[in-house]
Structure 1
Amino acid sequence: MVSVQVEGTASPTLNMPEELKKYFGDNAPQEQAQPFEGLGSGVIIDAAKGYVLTNNHVINQAQKISVQLNDGREFDAKLVGSDEQSDIALLQLIKPDHLTQIAIADSDKLRVGDFAVAVGNPFGLGQTATSGIISALGRSGLNLEGLENFIQTDASINRGKLRRRAAEPQRELIGINTAILAPGGGSIGIGFAIPSNMAKTLADQLIQFGEIKRGLLGIKGMEMSADIAKAMNLNVQRGAFVSEVLPNSGSAKAGIKSGDVIVSLNGKTAEQFRRTAFADRHHRAGYQGQTGPAARWKAGRCRSDPG
């Protein structure tokens, strides 16, 4: 784990009522940009090239970025790229030397109940670790970010411009913590992390392109239910019911039709529509799944479409 320190200036938004703005036009009073400092945490994912994975909200609007290691050494860093939808950012240290990178786990192999440790730098106190378990996988629909497929843990995570890293006892990275549910302002043991597989895929795109080029399945619909199955005469109870297919989308070209139910995608069961519809959002446009086809039901029959 490393500490990420940022400096910059932010332009506050003047809270002027809309009915008054029309009288000022371009001459409306402006608030002066204010300097700020921020603190977060990150992990080294490539020691040779000095790549550090952190959160977008940590470096947002930063004009100067530095990274401090546990041994006290400090490096200037540049922003390779960031993604607001997933809250991921990738930094590169200037003149990296004698670094140690963390191993990245396969987050698809995680199970509810697995042990997890969150490590970070809360309030600048230095490296701090808290422990817990994985409470849930594939959390979505929380309206926290544009792209949601979270690991939920009960390891204590503090609010502010820092997020801790979830790691297994083998010291493997399983996720990048991004948010907490805290009605009272403090941690209540409900934290959310971006799965390591998703974070690594996004980081690879940032290295290659400097930005995220997202794929899109191009479907609209809802989660399957017993009522839909009965109405549509479908012999399936769970999956992603497709109500509309966007023209010229990947799904349209694959032959998916309105009324289909996607029951698996790339070899994984499709139980939630939101997760299925956004399954390719962290892959680049044009990505083709390597693990299997999409299986779908139509009027009582099942067929597979090439992945």
Structure 2
Amino acid sequence: MVVQVVEVSPRDGLQNEPEILSTASKIELIRRCVEAGARRVEAVSFVRADRVPQMADAEAVMAAVPRRGDVSYIGLVLNRRGLDRALAAGVDEVNCVVVATETFSQRNQGASVDAMLGAWTDIAKAAHAAGVRASVTVAAAFGCPFEGDVSPATVGDLARRLVEGEPDEIALADTIGVGVPTQVRALVSAVTAAAPGVPLRAHFHDTRNTAVANALAAVEAGVTVLDASVGGIGGCPFAPAATGNVATEDLTYALHRSGHPTGLDPTKVIETAAWIGDQLGKDRLPGALGRAGWFPADPR
């Protein structure tokens, strides 16, 4: 089974890094990801610059990304103002985030869960009217830094309400990296039952070294789209101790060796991870494959 990897390093990867890259460097990162085979790229977010200064140049980035018919660029939006900016910038998809718990929703977005559900429905309908795909991410679906465990029933109920916006895709996010494979299977089952026919995506953080195992469990449960970030950079700036996303190169290795092609070029992904590490001034990134290498030696 082919698995699509959505490259999120330009947005979710960079938003939690203290180093603010130049617009030119962000565009080069995106170009390298596309050259490595990424066909869906979460490129930018249209949020308040005072809250996430790393994303302040979203319009400038979108104005210069390499445009190709086989590449789709995703912009994160949280309200209609963000959507208007995204549509004007020429995104191919928008993604909205609804948090699974009330406390984290208030801390992360300054709004209640109910308010964000309403915002999502409004965003989705307007995006669809403009001919743009709209997906929604359930953040903290596996656990909350403030409220603890999140039950599959809670996530299932939330997914049932998200269906009102007719999502093109629902993503389940382990925002703080607490999930394990048994949870993955339970959540996928709950959301599949609550939102039948809606494609699922999964987004894992490797805070506790479970991300690759969780990703494989998601694929075994029927998920065919996974988020990843070159080098394993990133995280959520509003979640304490939420370290980086699963590394694209590590996930690619696990998927390819498990019989799930991704269309990514492992060598170019590893090279891109090394490049972004240099740009961020990091001698060592979380991703392991850049140090250990592919096995067998030639990934082609």
TM range, smaller chain: under 0.3
User: With structure 2 as the length reference, what TM-score do the two structures score?
Assistant: 0.25
Bigger relative contact order, structure 1 or 2 (CA pairs below 8 A, ≥6 apart): 2
Higher helix share: 2
